[in-house]
Amino acid sequence: MQRKKRKITVRITVFLIVIALSMSASENEQTKIGFVTAQETNHHIVEIGDRFVVLNWTVQENYTFSGFRIEVFDSSLNLSQTWSVIQINSTMYLNHINQVNLVNYTDSHGEIFYSKKEFSLNFTYFIVPTNTKSIQVKINGLKTTNPYQIQIYSTNSSLVINNDFSILLVEEEVSFWITEEFTTLQSIDEALKYSRTATTITILAIILIFIIIFVIIAKIDVPFNRVAYVFIFPALFALVLLEVYPMLYGIVLSFTSYNLRRGEIPQFNWLENYIHITNNPQLPIAFTTTLVWSTVIIFLKIFLGFVLAYLIHYKVKRKKVWYLLLYLPWVIPTYIKILSWRTFIQGSGGESLFNLLLGTNVNLMNQPYVALLLACFVEVWDSIPLITTLFLGGLSSIPKELSDIAKVDQISERTSIRRIIIPLIKPIILPAIILEIIKTFGSFNVAFLFTSGYPLLPYGMNEAGIIGATDLFSTFTFYMFYQRRDVGIAAAYSTIMSILTLFFVLVWIKMSKGTESSFQPSEIKKRRNYKIIIPTFLTIQAIGYIVSGVVGFRYFGYHWNPVLSYIMGSLFAIVGLLFIWKPNQSSTGLKLLLVVDLIFSLTQFFLFQMWFAFNWNIFVVAVEFFIIANIPREKFNSNFVLNKLRKIAQYTRKTVVTTLQRIDTKLIDLNTIHLVLVVQASILLVSNLILGSSFWLMWTIFGLNILVIFSSIFSQSFTKFSVLLQPIIWIGLGFAWEPIGWKIIHVIVSLVFIINYIQKQLDKRKIGEFQRGIYSFLSFPINSSVTLLSFSLIAFIPIWNIFWIAFSPSNTVVPTNFFPSNPTLNNFVLLFTQENILLHFGNSLLVSLGSATFCILLTVLAAYAFSRYRFKVKKQLMVGVFIMKMFTGILTLIPLYLIMFNLGLIDNYIGVILAYSTQTIPLGLWIIKGYMDSIPKELDESALLMGNSTLRVLRKVVFPLAGPAIAVAFLLNFLTAWNGFLLAFVLLQSPLRYTLPIKLYTFLGSIETSSPEWGMFAAASLLVMIPMIIMFIFLKNYLLKGANYHIQRGDL
């Protein structure tokens, strides 16, 4: 059955009918792209495109036929073909509005619905209900500049549904509507032809200018260095052509009215695109999402990365095993990881393993907060190995003596982290973290592959389309470009994003300069005149609050309650005035006020205004905090009232502290047992809350747990008895119908508790030989190991899910038991026979090998020149090359696409190879140069003195010696191309040329697809993953060496 259906699908997808919907009617015909309304007017052609046409017709109230048949008549070939049938059926259920499916219609009330695409043996068909009023159809797959006529017949047909297949039997039909003949538009490809010459000329000009500049600089420099210029020329030239030129081109494009869909000659419209953008309510939404996204992710990354690195570096034995476990998820391609998370969490429409395990009801399609949070989680998990590596590098740079001294001096762990470790790793880690921020800021993969921007937001809609709760700046830009083909506007978005990135880049430059020289700040802290800055700030803020309260401005102040705006505004004004007269006294009040404001603003933002408006209060408050933190503390010589107030405050504080102290003396020495108990209690609470458990047993156990905690912190003997809680929990778990996931978590925590308990309670002196054995086994650092293990194993749960799906016979997402009940290799067989996966393997291999080889050729030459010669502008070039890396990705995508197009390199392996080869040049340069610096210079100098030419020295001496670094750089580029999604997705168009990532993506499609092919995807993922894991295990020493290299240098 599946195979038959597939054949039809293949046939049908060639000429696919997409019927789509837009939520609002718009006046401008040209902007109706992507989403079009089913309007209640009579039959008419809504839009004619280059390869598609949109039709709209009304269904009469007393329509007697059972459906419509759509026939396309190609006037040039005199050939008509039936493309699809729309069936009217009374017994269908209405699809949810968020589910973008293939048919849309309005019912008698004018509400809009989508219909689902179905397959039968002879036709694709869509089912609409009997009360349908109007239908809109988008017919794709037409030829460009070709005359067509669409004929619609009213049919009486019946659908015969068998067990295995369905077939449409057409019995009677009457012509319903024959459109006038129309000609499809010029295609985008043809429209672009004119700019081909322009691009060629520009590129030639760039080549010429570049060569001239190079020759001039080389002439100025000393003769011995000229060869260095020859060596760096290819790499720099590739970078200029494929990175710098697109960047500048993108900026130019942002000032033009360039729309690929309209196929007109672009003209300069100066700031019109930017004005359009600022008027677009989607910009602030995308901005907000990106900001929240970056902040959450960076904090999580830093926190988790530090914790993991700390545990690995200081807490556990057998570091190598942990390294391996940490790096193993790293080798799994990002796109597979993300898609497998999607499989695990979302499954098909919320029916997933995740929900089954935890008993939750997560659906990424309609829960904005959950979707954003989970997307952040996936992004963090994707990059955890990298950030942990960075922290590990930082930690291993701390001299071991320092931590020994800390131990000998009895400095507590907390203090030593806060006062020794963090200050020491900060200068090393900070530039790297800023790089991470830049990367997160421009991240694309998770938002695109995991949620595709869903869930959609009602206020994120305008004539340009709709924006979702997880649409980042990057995906939004991509959407603007890829779906809407509005190059000018997309380029303007990119430019804005570049400017924001530039800010971080400047910070990075400053930071890395600071760390180069020394650890100590070299300048004396400057005192600024805060007496002016703060009052002005506060006045502006006060005015802003009050005005926005009056006007109802939603980006500032308190939009959900204008009264609060007035109150806070006036308070700010008062404090501002006070600050002029009595700065010292009012600064405490100001701090308090700012904290209150921050709490209010954050509450407002996250609970009421998220995705509706970014609240700039938060930003302003943050800035003010920063200023206040720099004010030097001075002695209070305050007046009477304030003095009195302060005394009261001091008194209350003292009483609170003494009471706490009194309680503290009653406590016994707390240890890890108590910590584990608290963890257990909180997990119980969370699971009870999430499940909404009304089951009294689990709540009782939770109560018991709290009781045990309280009793055990006061008495040693109660602590001894706390172990009795565990059997109770187990019994509770046995009876409670909790989902399996929670049971597993509870059991793990319980075991950890028991082991900790035994470790603490066993008296070493009194035990026998056997117990001693147990004890030595248990002395294993269990808590750290369990934490690390759970962190690293979580990444493998979706992988197991994939594994299960790959071997299961049916196309289901949710595993029913640990191993598939009757495992089959059917999916793999299908991959090789039908999907021709070997071809795509070949494509990927060709692209990756080509790109890596090309990249290495350029990089090695340049790295040698950078390592051995002291030519002019060397330092600036190095930094420049590195900065360039920060601007790549989505920022240069659009212009790169156009350039490739104009060079005829779209849908061409060479284009993809070129695009990927420059991606890792900066990093590769850094790695190889670093390694070459460690090769004694005398080696190649003595080879040179023997009369060898520089190239021969490179070939005979340097190349063999720099082998490991070159291999790592090669692998780096290879993996980038092998795993690369975005560039290949954009630059390759015909299915036969797809690389593996694109092929795998087509199995699943984006999140809204109705029929993903889980089995194929899972099987293909395994096929991709397994060779990579094997390769990793073989090459791990090499890889670790390479990785260590740039950790030490603090750049990655």
Residues that bind another protein (CB under 8 A): 222-225, 870, 936, 938-939, 941-950, 952, 956-957, 960-961
Residue 896 beta carbon to another protein: minimum distance, rounded to whole angstroms: 38
The residue among 391 and 869 lying less far from another protein, judged by its C-beta, is 869
Closer residue to another protein in complex, CB, 563/945: 945
The nearer residue to another protein, 811 or 948, going by C-beta atoms, is 948
Short-list 831, 812, 816, 767, CA closest to 1002: 831
Distance CA 821, CA 825 (A): 13
Question: Following DSSP, what letter does each residue of 716-750 receive, concatenated?
Answer: HHHHHHGGGHHHHHHHHHHHS---HHHHHHHHHHH
Smallest distance from the beta carbon of 952 to another protein, in angstroms? 7
Nearest distance from residue 946's CB to another protein, in Å? 4
Q: Smallest distance, Å, CB 954 to another protein?
A: 13
316-337: b (≥16 Cβ within 10 Å) or e = beeeeebbebbbbbbbbbbbbb
Q: Which two tokens stand for residue 980?
A: 């690369």
- With residue 561 as reference, give the H or E element that holds it: none
> Shortest distance, CB of residue 234 to another protein, whole angstroms?
21
Pick the closer one to another protein by CB: 485 or 874: 874
* Total number of residues shown for the chain: 1052
Pair of tokens at residue 880? 């420049």
* Nearest-approach distance from CB 263 to another protein, in angstroms: 53
Q: Which is nearer to another protein, 692 or 947 (CB)?
A: 947
Q: Which is nearer to another protein, 668 or 943 (CB)?
A: 943
Nearer to another protein, 823 or 963 (CB): 963
**Nearer of residues 276 and 872 to another protein, judged by Cβ:** 872
Using alpha carbons, list the distances in angstroms from residue 631 to 8, 619, 623, 625. 73, 19, 13, 10
| Two structure tokens written together for 833 | 């026979």
Q: Give me 436's structure tokens.
A: 């991470």
Instruction: Please check whether residue 441 is in contact with residue 501, taking contact to mean a CB–CB distance below 8 angstroms.
Output: yes
C-beta closer to another protein: residue 493 or 864: 864
d(CA 984, CA 994): 8
Q: How far apart are CA 999 and CA 277, in angstroms?
A: 34
* Closer Cβ to another protein, 173 or 221, answer by number: 221
Give me the DSSP letters along 323-363: HHHHHHHHHS-HHHHHHHHHHHHTTBTTBSHHHHHH-----
Report the C-alpha gap between 972 and 962 in whole angstroms.
15
Residue (224 or 606) nearer to another protein, CB: 224
Q: In the complex with another protein, which residue's Cβ is closer, 119 or 229?
A: 229
Q: How far is the CB of 955 from another protein (least distance, A)?
A: 12
As measured in angstroms, the least distance from the Cβ of 545 to another protein is 55
Q: Are 325 and 308 in contact (CB under 8 A)?
A: no
The whole-angstrom separation of Cα 57 and Cα 38 is 8
Neighbours of 41 (CB within 10 A): 10
**Closest approach of another protein to the CB of residue 289, in Å:** 48
Q: Minimum distance between the CB of residue 236 and another protein, rounded to whole angstroms?
A: 22
| 3-state secondary structure at position 136 | strand
Min dist. Cβ of residue 1034 to another protein (A): 22
Closest to another protein by CB, 629 or 945:
945
> Looking at beta carbons only, is 224 or 268 nearer to another protein?
224
- Strands 134-139 and 17-18 turn out to be antiparallel
Q: Toward another protein, which CB reaches closer, 768 or 960?
A: 960
CB closer to another protein out of 33 and 218: 218
| Residue 225 beta carbon to another protein: minimum distance, rounded to whole angstroms | 7
DSSP assignment string, 589-654: HHHHHHHHHHHHHHHIIIIIITTT---HHHHHHHHHHHHHHTSPP------HHHHHHHHHHHHHHH
Phi-psi region of 251 (alpha: psi -120 to 50; beta: other; left: phi over 0): alpha
Closest to 925 (Cα-Cα) out of 933, 915, 913: 933
First and final C-alpha spacing in the chain = 51
Long-range contacts of 1012-1017 (CB under 8 A, 24+ apart): 1012/348, 1013/811, 1014/343, 1014/348, 1014/805, 1014/811, 1014/812, 1014/813, 1015/805, 1015/806, 1015/808, 1015/810, 1015/811, 1015/826, 1015/827, 1015/830, 1016/827, 1016/830, 1016/831, 1016/835, 1017/339, 1017/343, 1017/802, 1017/805
- Strands 79-88 and 124-128 turn out to be parallel
Tell me the sheet residues that pair with 137.
55
Closest separation in Å from C-beta 455 to another protein: 59
| Minimum distance from residue 972 beta carbon to another protein (Å) | 23
CB of 929 to another protein, least distance (A): 19
Nearer to another protein, 87 or 225 (CB): 225
Give min distance, CB of 966 to another protein, in A.
14
**3-state SS track over 5-42:** HHHHHHHHHHCCEECCCCCCCCCCHHHCCCCCCCCCCC
Helix (H) or strand (E) holding 132, with range, is: none
Q: Which helix (H) or strand (E) holds 80?
A: strand 79-88
Q: How far is the CB of 878 from another protein (least distance, A)?
A: 16
- Minimum distance from residue 943 beta carbon to another protein (Å): 7
User: Which pair of structure tokens corresponds to residue 914?
Assistant: 């070129």
Q: Which residue has the tokens 């709290």?
A: 706
Residue closer to another protein (CB basis): 627 or 939: 939
- Helix, strand and coil content of the chain, in percent to the nearest 5, comes to 65, 10, 25
Q: Which helix (DSSP H) or strand (DSSP E) does residue 451 occupy?
A: none
